Amino acid sequence: MITKKIILFLLLVGIQVSAQDKKWTLEECVDYAIKNNISIKSSELDLKNATINKKDAFGAFLPSVNANASHSWNIGLNQNITTGLLQNQTTQFTSAGLSVGVDIYNGLRNQLQLRKSNLAIIASQYQLIKIQEDIALNVANAYLQILFNKENLKVQQQQKAYNLTQLERTKQLVEAGVVPQGDLLDIKATAASDTQRVIAAQNALLISKLSLAQLLRFDDFKNFDIDENQIPSLNHEILMQSSESIAQKAKETRTELKIANSNVQLAEKDIAIARGAYQPTISGFYSFSTRAAYSDRVVGFQPDVNNPTSAIGYVDGTNQLVLQPNYSPILGSPLPLFDQFSNNKGQNFGVQLSVPIFNGFTTRNNVERSKVALERAKLNLSQQELDVERNVFTAYTDANAAKESFEAAGITLNARELSFNYARERYEVGLMNVFDFNQAQTLLVNAQSELLRTKYDYIFRTKILEFYFGIPLIKK
């Protein structure tokens, strides 16, 4: 039993360690963000709602069918349906019916509404894609920021290790009388500053992990880490394209333009639907009803022994009284329920025409509002086209500038490395003071950091440019 517990404990620990050691790739981060992002989930609900609206539009072509039934009690003074007299009594009635209505013609509004619902689904799909693209771009930016902070931390740690080695070397030089005691103090101060820079780099890395973890809605950000071996390549091919060709491709593929164009088409359908209210409507109807009562019924007649006859007039000339026999009804129990339903059934059907004549300018105003909405949608489409064109030219300029900055940073780093190596040789033989040596070292560290910064800035700028050219961020 104890052995089983130990095995279970080791398995749980192994699972936990494995989860903490997981390295997330950029593809995994993007997929996870798309599945868990709140904005995307909300957009998916909008798409479901648009699909439901299409079902409503399709249902408008179908007839409406309604059934009704009621059972009532009349208590107190009411008419006796058997004798026709008012009397205090309690009676019951049951009625049932079925009605059917169908639109035959209503200005083609049902057809237009169905087409609009199809366009609304497409627009919702485009909106979902747009949010997914934005999330992917944000995730890629956060992912690259972590990669930059990881490499920057390595640079700071390497510099700290070098300065600690240099500290030991300086101690030997001081003991040998090659450099003064003050140089040793300066090296110690530099080593302490290196420790501060390492801490700052660690904090920057932790914050960048937190930012990406929040995008992914991942709680355990302290144990969250990415695959630092999956560094995107520096792509120069996209810069071989002209800015005009990239802008033209973006106008053909960008999702925001597809959304704006769909909104124009939706606005055009709204105008046609609003104009349909000017036309007459024709509808057909059919209804079936029946009823039953629970009162006694008249099953026959018999002479009225209490009042056998009654006078109805006199004979002209003789004034002879004319009498007629009186009869009293013979009451029986009501007919069976279904027999009454069969005897009392009735039907009603027909066609109804409604011609709009005047409704307080409501229809005209609805058409005018729809026209305004169409103009606004067209203006938004034009603005989106201008924005895409401006964004492409800006991204193209930024990518070229980032490329030049990265190349210049590489040249600068090579020069700083040569300069630092020369300064180190001069310092170790006592031909350079510690202040100038530290300056050369600081310039080298700054050049290394600048190369990293320009490298990842260049990668991200080219990714944005590829994004506008229709190249996906993740090549699966």
Looking up residue 249, the CATH number of its domain turns out to be: 1.20.1600.10
pLDDT digits (tens, 9 = 90+) for 233-281: 676 788 888 989 999 999 999 999 999 999 999 999 999 999 999 999 9
How much is the pLDDT for 44?
92
Whose tokens are 């700028």? That residue is 461
- The DSSP code for 476 is -
Confidence of residue 85 (pLDDT cuts 50, 70, 90): low
Average of per-residue pLDDT across 144-171 = 85
Token output for 287: 């209804």
335 within domain boundaries: no
Average of per-residue pLDDT across 3-27 = 54
311 within domain boundaries: no
How much is the pLDDT for 391?
92
Whose CA is closest to 413, among 458, 440, 444, 442? 444
188 within domain boundaries: yes
C-alpha span between 185 and 195 (Å, rounded): 16
12 within domain boundaries: no
Confidence of residue 225 (pLDDT cuts 50, 70, 90): confident
Render the burial of 427-448: b for 16+ CB within 10 Å, e for the rest.
Answer: bbeeebbbeebbebbebbbebb
Confidence of residue 74 (pLDDT cuts 50, 70, 90): confident
How much is the pLDDT for 53?
93
How much is the pLDDT for 474?
67
Token output for 242: 């002209």
Question: pTM of the full predicted structure?
Answer: 0.76
How much is the pLDDT for 192?
85
pLDDT digits (tens, 9 = 90+) for 164-216: 887 787 788 777 776 677 777 877 888 888 889 899 999 999 999 999 988 88
Residues 237, 157: contact at Cβ < 8 Å?
no
78 within domain boundaries: no
Whether residue 6 has pLDDT greater than 70: no
DSSP string, 408-443: HHHHHHHHHHHHHHHHHHHHHTTSS-HHHHHHHHHH
- Split into its structural domains, the chain has a count of 1
How much is the pLDDT for 12?
42
C-alpha span between 454 and 148 (Å, rounded): 10
Neighbours of 364 (CB within 10 A): 14
Whether residue 330 has pLDDT greater than 90: no
How much is the pLDDT for 280?
92
8 within domain boundaries: no
Domain holding 56, by residue range, is 23-62+106-279+366-468
How much is the pLDDT for 82?
57
pLDDT digits (tens, 9 = 90+) for 37-68: 888 999 999 999 999 999 999 999 999 999 99
309 within domain boundaries: no
- Specify the range with the lowest mean pLDDT, choosing from 10-14, 134-138, 222-226: 10-14
Residues 240, 465: contact at Cβ < 8 Å?
no
pLDDT digits (tens, 9 = 90+) for 379-407: 999 999 999 999 999 999 999 999 999 99
Whose CA is closest to 293, among 254, 331, 256, 341? 341
Residue 271's Cβ-side half-sphere holds a number of Cα atoms within 13 Å equal to 13
Please give the mean pLDDT across all residues of the chain.
Answer: 85
pLDDT digits (tens, 9 = 90+) for 308-325: 888 777 777 777 887 788
360 within domain boundaries: no
DSSP string, 300-363: EEEE-SSS-EEEEEE-TTT--EEEEE-EEEEEEPPPPHHHHHHHT-EEEEEEEEE----STTHH
Average of per-residue pLDDT across 214-227 = 81
Whether residue 18 has pLDDT greater than 50: no
C-alpha span between 264 and 123 (Å, rounded): 10
